[in-house]
Amino acid sequence: HGTGHQDVAEIGQAFELLSPLLGLGIASILFAVALLASGLNSTVTATLAGQIVMEGFLRLRIPQWARRLLTRGIAIVPVVIVTALYGERGTGQLLVFSQVILSMQLPFAVIPLVQFVSDKNKMGNFAIPRAVAMLAWVVAAVILVLNFKLLYDTIAGFG
């Protein structure tokens, strides 16, 4: 904030926050590497989660190459289409939209997780202490409230 970079309107400007610390040349390279690593992490996580769901729950076995092609295709094809149709601005809006969708999915992971790790019948000695469980439920409630606010703001913004 001390350098005057306080607002990032597009993803292409984000590396500028690092430039006062690292220099303009290296900041853009490190930011690109970080984005690439983040993207790879997301696709690997999705691929592994998909494998577990398809094999464990659905009893659906497909070759690993097909699973990788399918999950990466689901991730890449919409971006290519949006970029081709709407350019860089559309890609930025798609990124924000994807983060909104991810935030809406978070309670579906957090609430069962807190319930599961709080249950002494299921977890035995590994169940979290009561104080940690209370804190976890407060965090889950805050996530829910913020998601409802985000949903309201999004819908009200269209009106």
Closest CA relative to residue 103, chosen from 151, 138, 40: 151
pLDDT tens column, 96-140: 788 788 888 889 889 999 999 999 999 999 999 999 999 999 999
pLDDT the model gives residue 86: 87
Whether residue 40 is predicted with pLDDT greater than 70 in this model: the reply is: yes
Tokens of 76: 């890449």
Distance CA 76, CA 66 (A): 15
Query: What pLDDT, on a 0 to 100 scale, did the predictor assign at position 114?
Result: 95
Distance, in Å, from the CA atom of 152 to the CA atom of 63, rounded to the nearest integer, reads 42
**Amino acid of residue 86:** Y
Phi, psi at 7, each rounded to 5° = -135, 135
Q: What is the pLDDT of residue 89?
A: 76
* 53-63 pLDDT tens trace: 777 777 777 88
- pTM exceeds cut of 0.85: no
- Residues 6+ away with beta carbon under 8 Å from 14: 8, 31
Asked whether the beta carbons of 7 and 16 are under 8 A apart, the reply is no
Residue 10: band (very low, low, confident or very high) from pLDDT cuts 50, 70, 90: low
Greater pLDDT, 149 or 4: 149
Please say whether the dihedral angle defined by the alpha carbons of residues 142, 143, 145 and 146, taken in this order, is positive or negative: positive
- Give just the sign of the alpha carbon dihedral 9, 12, 16, 22: positive
Give the per-residue pLDDT at 158.
Answer: 60
Portion of the chain with pLDDT greater than 70, in percent: 90
Please, are residues 127 and 117 in contact by the beta-carbon 8 Å criterion?
yes
pLDDT at residue 39 in the model: 80
pLDDT at 1: 47
Residue boundaries of the structural domains of the chain: 1-61, 88-159
The rounded mean pLDDT for the chain is: 82
As a whole number of angstroms, the distance between CA 120 and CA 9 comes to 47
Provide the 10 A C-beta neighbour count for residue 13: 12
